Amino acid sequence: MELAFSGELWWWKGPAPWHFVTVADDECAALAAASAAVSYGWGMIPVTARIGATSWQTSLFPRDGRYVVPVKARVRTAEGIEVGDRVAVHLTLDV
């Protein structure tokens, strides 16, 4: 399954701060339908994500009825993106 959407990069300030992009509603519905086949616990869904020319392996986190994509520092640096930037995200998951 392949999905593409755009979203704003945001920063979670929790005890383990991290940067995320929230998956768009339409794509969340498709992910929820596929999650039973691919989730490995806590609703996490393993994917290959890509922003621009940079791709990485990660897992989507369920949050408030949607999913979020964690965006590593090396990806933000390589693509020159900062909190508040709108980015195009491509996800590939095996189902």
34, pLDDT greater than 90: no
**Using CA atoms, how far apart are residues 18 and 61, in angstroms rounded to an integer?**
12
The domain total for the chain is 1
pLDDT band at 16 (very low <50, low <70, confident <90, very high): confident
The DSSP code sequence of 2-69 is: EEEEEEEEEEE-SSS-EEEEEPPHHHHHHHHHHHHHH--STT-EEEEEEETTEEEEEEEEEETTEEEE
Q: State the chain's mean pLDDT as an integer.
A: 91
Predicted pLDDT of residue 59: 93
Going by C-beta distance under 8 Å and a sequence separation of 6 or more, which residues neighbour residue 61?
A: 20, 43, 44, 67, 68, 70
Look at residue 89 and give its three-state secondary structure. strand
Give the model's confidence band at 15: pLDDT under 50 very low, under 70 low, under 90 confident, else very high.
confident
Q: Is the pLDDT of residue 95 over 70?
A: no
CATH of residue 34: 2.40.30.100
What residues make up the domain containing 62?
A: 2-92
- Per-residue pLDDT tens for 48-64? 999 999 999 999 989 99
Residues forming a β-bridge with 69: 21
- pLDDT: is 68 or 42 the higher one? 68
